[in-house]
Every structure is written in C-alpha cells, then in structure tokens.
Amino acid sequence: MRIVLLGPPGSGKGTQAALLKERLQVPHISTGDLLRAAVKAGTPLGLKAKAAMDAGELVSDELVLGLIEERLGQPDIADGYILDGFPRNLVQAEALDELLARLGQPVDKALELTVDEEQIVQRLAKRAAEEGRSDDTEAVVRNRLSVYHQQTAPVTGYYGERGLLVEVNGIGDIETINQRLVDALD
C-alpha cells in the first residue's frame, strides 16, 4: 500500500510512520530524514539543502524530487511505502503523481494527522530539548508552521479532490492514534 502521511510539523508524522512501517512491513520514506542524512554526510546535496533547512524554509523542489525519484527507484518499495514529509507543496504533489503514473503505481491513500497549533508548539519545544534538532528553535518553528500553512496545507485539498484523503485525529496517546490510522486504511 502506497501511503502519503500529511500534517503540520510536530503532528507526530515521524513517530506514526515508524509504527506503521512495522505494522504494514513497508519502508518509511522521510524526505526530512534523507535530507538530514545528506547534511550530516556533507554531500553536495546536503550542502545545498542546509541553509533552507536551518531557516525552516522548503528545500528546492528540484533537489527533493531528485531524492524521491532515486528512492522510489529502489526495489524495496515493491509492496508500498509510507511517505512522510513529502509532498510538501502542489508542485511536488503533481510531480509525484506523474512519477507514479509512469510506474503504474498511484498513491492509495493520504492520511492527514490533525493537531491544534498550541499542541504543536509544545511538542516541538519538547523535541528541541530531547533531540537538539537545529530547526526546532522557537523562531524557526514559527516559520515552519507558516510555510506549512502557505505551501503544504493545499496538498490536503489536492488529495481530497481525488477522493484519497482521510483526516485522522492526531491528539491522544501514540498507540491510540496509530490504531486510528490503521482503521483509516480499511
């Protein structure tokens, strides 16, 4: 099953994608994780991506689409995958559709985790303390939320229009939310 997991930064996408991966036995593909790994390894792509990431802006579509195209070309995705943090704008959503149409493997479902903003700011402050992510500072978090509202929120409409979107309440304990996501896949 090919799943797109949507929701604002701090909505629990990463945590839930990791659980869904175990349950469904398909890879979890996070463009944020792929980009952070590239930054850490100091690859040319990582060097190009770093400034945008540190500012909470989106990395260019060209870089991210190249990364995704390469990842979806690997054999372990034969039974599906969970996309986390991608697509992040309408250009990426359309490019993904084109790529998947070429492969004859369209997206099966888009799941949107809904969480209120107050909860997000609290969660991200907690994550900053626990993981020390350089883009979890308050000013950058605020920018990431604004980028989300302007550029990523329309992606939910894109999948909604195609009848693929299911909204899932992202508030509650981790296991409960995971069960809601699994139920939404039926």
Give the residue numbers marked as catalytic. Answer: 13, 88, 127, 133, 144
Q: Which residues contact 178 (CB under 8 A, 6 or more apart)?
A: 16, 19, 20, 23
Residue nearer to ligand AMP on the CB measure, 52 or 77: 52
Site for ligand AMP, rule CB under 6 A: 9, 31-32, 35, 52-53, 56-59, 64, 85-86, 88, 92, 135, 144
Instruction: Give me the least distance between CB of 35 and ligand AMP, in Å please.
Output: 5
Instruction: Give me the least distance between CB of 11 and ligand AMP, in Å please.
Output: 10
Instruction: Give me the least distance between CB of 172 and ligand AMP, in Å please.
Output: 21
Structure token pair of residue 11: 């909505």
Which alpha helices (H) appear in 27-173, and where do they start and end? 31-41, 44-55, 61-71, 90-103, 117-131, 138-147, 153-161
Question: Which strand (E) or helix (H) includes residue 21?
Answer: helix 13-24
